[in-house]
Chain A
Amino acid sequence: MFRHREKQNELSSYRLGGICSLLEIPQSQTFRIVEIKGGAGLHRRLLTLGFHRGDLVSVDCEAAMRGPVLVRNLTTGARVALGRGIAQKILVEPIKTDEV
């Protein structure tokens, strides 16, 4: 449905199988959080909302006009809308196929 998004990501590190931010991954695929960058304030807030390193997450959808992304935490079941600036600070990696 969102072709433009995939096209734009052709050369992103996701395609290369490496670590990338929540903004770069395709929708409805499972990734694992490896790092949350940014200050202590943001880090703490995300922790309390149930976003930890090691959690499995997927991006459900994103709002129009470069709006926030809707992130589903598959480990805790929470769904949170994150502004792009914040989503960019959450780094994820693809999960190995045998983990699904």
Chain B
Amino acid sequence: MKSEIPEIIFIGQPNCGKSTLFNHIAGFKAQTSNFPGTTVSHTHSEVVWKGKVYSIVDLPGTYSLTPYEPQEKVVLTHIFKEKPDLIVNVIDASLLGRSLELTVELLELEYPMVVVLNMMDLAEKKGIKIDTACLEKKLGVPVIKTVAIRGQGTKELMDCLEKVLADKVAPGHLCYSFEVEKRISELIEVFPENFPVVANPRFTAIKAIEAETLSVDRFFLENNRNFKEKLDEVRQELGGLRQAPAYEVLAVERHHLAMKIAEDCSQVHHARISSLEKLDNLIMHPIFGLFLLLLIFAGMFYLIFNVGSPLEACLLRPWEALRLGIQERLGQTLSAELLAGLIQGIGGGLAIVFPYFIPLLLLMGFLEDIGYLSRAAFLLDAFMHRLGLHGKSVPLFILGFGCNVPAIMTTRILESRRDRIVTTLLIPFIPCAARTTIILALVAFLLGPWWAVGFYFLNLVIIAILSSVLTRIFKYSSPGLILEIPSLKWPSPKNILQKTWLNLKEFIRFAWPILIAGSVLLSFLSFINFDRLVNTVLSPFVSGLLGLPQSLGVTLIFGVLRKELSLLMMFQALGVGYEQLLTVITKTQLLTFVTFVNFFIPCISTVAVIWKEMGKRIALISVLLNLSVAILVSWLVRIVSSFF
């Protein structure tokens, strides 16, 4: 039974600004970026507007209602299973002709619908003028103009939704050419009894014709031979009209309808080339673009380091003083130890994590928002092919620098399972914000920035080697790159800040408590001497193989919970403050430790998301792979750096 609350779904082609619009209406719930495929599963929210409750759903972007990519299947399941009360079709107004192809397809459902012309500002910049009244007349549904990024038009949209829901008027479909419509009606007439009709017979017939070469087709054959024969006949006749497969004939019908409407309802004036387009030409330049890519990432880490390290130094001092004061006053009692652990947990989160974490999130948000990720995919595609992958993995790796978890979830944009497996196994090797903190806080701060640069380089080389090895194990020729490059957009500071806040909130709610609890737990364990036991057991490995102080054994284990935890616990285990660290361990030991922590088993949330997305076999492989690489590489680092 359907509940009283009307359900409204937001649907549109990738990168049309659905999620941004959704966020404006629903409060901040959905992740957005200027990269196709950010919304991989649907986001759901309840909204109150003028005293009424609406349930709104943000679906992943889809180019059409015939699914090719996994996230597009989410859309179909949703439309068919939970028949929505209203469809909001969001359109990128600057790409009117192509976007209307999906609109034409959606109208065939004959569900109540509203069309939203989003990105009106961009369309105007491109010199496109759209006559909404004309569009409303041609499509038979209300059309609302919005600029979602600035929240313009959202009130009008809500009022319109309210009105359409009250009227419950379903639009009619647009008509294809006579010959095509005739064949569709013929097919409807031979529908067997209890044929699973979705939405309406015409829509079902069209989808049945388009199912040629898709696996659904076999279902028709097995279930009803007569129908299947008629279906094939219709397909052949349709194909004969244009000397093309039937599915293309239908796609072309929609294309023509869409183009005709776009031509009738919009005027394109010659637009001057905007500064963004000039910038885009530089970014996409084959040689300069690559150079810029390098510059952007080098600059990004330079900036984070230069903002982070002075902040870190000045934030650490009071906490360190507090800890020493407590130890002086209370001595070696349990309460003193626990208090010191607590202070190290709180202070460590605040003084070590925040100075690096926040700038990294802000810069990543900026890159995502302007639309740089898909451009990086374009520039590095050829390079990635040498490593056995393709360019679409690049944005995922870049996302991984922020946090591995969303990066692994977004691997859904990859078409082949093999690419997904390899990319999923590689992402945990990307130093996420937590590990960047460790690298910057230990390597860059104590040994110098160039050491950190070298460390990142080593990290990338290892990923490249692993990629070549893994793609050789999972043999399969990768399909070529097909990736839409959305227009470059000026980022909205509000959007970036909100996204950073969202990630920060996660950190404060989940990670920081773990850091504090872990720190206190270690204090307790060391007070009852349990850590000695663990350290003794691990000693052959920690001191023997890696040459680290025996007392670090237990801290390595805790890194599984949160990577920063290893860092905090290291100070605790060694019993020194941050600035005196190099008095108790050598440079080699420091490098070995950071290498091990960096490559060690992915943190618990990463393992969980791999398990959820790819199954427990891949999760297990990932854990073992990281463990063996961590041991091997940190051992190598120890050997090599002992020569210097």
Given A40-B245, A43-B245, A78 and B381 touching (CB < 8 A)? no
Query: Restricting to A69-100, which residues have a CB under 8 Å from any CB of B?
Result: 70, 73, 75-86
**A50: which B residues are within 8 A, CB to CB?**
63, 97-98, 101, 255
Query: What is the CA–CA distance of A93 and B487 in the complex, to the nearest angstrom?
Result: 27
Asked if A46 is an interface residue, CB under 8 A from chain B, the answer is yes
A70 near B66 with CB under 8 A, answer no
Shortest distance from the beta carbon of A78 to any chain B beta carbon, whole Å: 5
Asked if B233 is an interface residue, CB under 8 A from chain A, the answer is no
Asked if A60 is an interface residue, CB under 8 A from chain B, the answer is yes
**B97: which A residues are within 8 A, CB to CB?**
50, 75-77
Shortest distance from the beta carbon of A66 to any chain B beta carbon, whole Å: 6
Query: What is the CA–CA distance of A47 and B481 in the complex, to the nearest angstrom?
Result: 15
Asked if A18 is an interface residue, CB under 8 A from chain B, the answer is no
**B251: which A residues are within 8 A, CB to CB?**
44, 47-48, 52
Shortest distance from the beta carbon of B484 to any chain A beta carbon, whole Å: 5
Asked if A34 is an interface residue, CB under 8 A from chain B, the answer is no
Query: Restricting to A17-63, which residues have a CB under 8 Å from any CB of B?
Result: 40-41, 43-50, 52-53, 60-63
**A16: which B residues are within 8 A, CB to CB?**
none
Asked if B34 is an interface residue, CB under 8 A from chain A, the answer is no
**B95: which A residues are within 8 A, CB to CB?**
76-78
B382 near A44 with CB under 8 A, answer no
Asked if A64 is an interface residue, CB under 8 A from chain B, the answer is yes
Asked if B213 is an interface residue, CB under 8 A from chain A, the answer is yes
**B381: which A residues are within 8 A, CB to CB?**
63, 67-68, 81, 83
Query: Restricting to B41-73, which residues have a CB under 8 Å from any CB of A?
Result: 63-64, 66, 68
Shortest distance from the beta carbon of B577 to any chain A beta carbon, whole Å: 48
Query: What is the CA–CA distance of A65 and B287 in the complex, to the nearest angstrom?
Result: 10
Query: What is the CA–CA distance of A22 and B486 in the complex, to the nearest angstrom?
Result: 21
Interface size on A, residues (CB 8 A): 35
Which B-chain residue is minimally distant from A73 (CB atoms)? B98
* Chain B 140-156 interface mask (CB, 8 Å, partner A; 1/0): 00000000000000000
Which B-chain residue is minimally distant from A65 (CB atoms)? B382
Tell which of B255, B284, B391 touches A60, judged by Cβ atoms closer than 8 Å.
Answer: B284
Which A-chain residue is minimally distant from B94 (CB atoms)? A77
Shortest distance from the beta carbon of B582 to any chain A beta carbon, whole Å: 42
A40 near B213 with CB under 8 A, answer yes
Shortest distance from the beta carbon of A38 to any chain B beta carbon, whole Å: 10
B259 near A75 with CB under 8 A, answer yes
Interface size on B, residues (CB 8 A): 47
A83 near B68 with CB under 8 A, answer no
B379 near A52 with CB under 8 A, answer no
Shortest distance from the beta carbon of A68 to any chain B beta carbon, whole Å: 5
Shortest distance from the beta carbon of B245 to any chain A beta carbon, whole Å: 7
**B68: which A residues are within 8 A, CB to CB?**
41, 44-45, 48
Tell which of A40, A43, A44, A68 touches B481, judged by Cβ atoms closer than 8 Å.
Answer: A68
A49 near B63 with CB under 8 A, answer yes
Query: What is the CA–CA distance of A31 and B31 in the complex, to the nearest angstrom?
Result: 38
A52 near B252 with CB under 8 A, answer yes
Query: What is the CA–CA distance of A15 and B390 in the complex, to the nearest angstrom?
Result: 32
Which of B64, B252, B481, B484 is the most central at the interface, judged by chain A CB atoms within 10 Å of its CB? B481
Which B-chain residue is minimally distant from A84 (CB atoms)? B480
Shortest distance from the beta carbon of A71 to any chain B beta carbon, whole Å: 9
**A66: which B residues are within 8 A, CB to CB?**
382
Which of A50, A60, A63, A66 is the most central at the interface, judged by chain B CB atoms within 10 Å of its CB? A63
**B481: which A residues are within 8 A, CB to CB?**
68, 81-83, 86
Shortest distance from the beta carbon of A20 to any chain B beta carbon, whole Å: 18
**A46: which B residues are within 8 A, CB to CB?**
482
Asked if B22 is an interface residue, CB under 8 A from chain A, the answer is no
Given A47-B251, A50-B98, A75-B97, A64 and B379 touching (CB < 8 A)? yes
Which of B289, B391, B482, B485 is the most central at the interface, judged by chain A CB atoms within 10 Å of its CB? B482
Shortest distance from the beta carbon of A49 to any chain B beta carbon, whole Å: 6
B245 near A80 with CB under 8 A, answer no
What would be 7 A-B contacts, judged by CB atoms less than 8 Å apart?
A48-B66, A64-B379, A76-B97, A79-B484, A80-B484, A81-B483, A83-B390
**In the complex, given contacts A63-B289, A80-B482, what are 8 additional A-B residue pairs having Cβ atoms less than 8 angstroms apart?**
A40-B247, A44-B251, A49-B482, A65-B382, A77-B95, A77-B96, A77-B97, A77-B98
Where the two chains meet, the residues of B that have a C-beta atom closer than 8 Å to any C-beta of A are 63-64, 66, 68, 94-98, 101, 212-213, 244-245, 247-248, 251-252, 255, 259, 281, 284-287, 289-290, 374, 377-383, 386, 390-391, 479-487
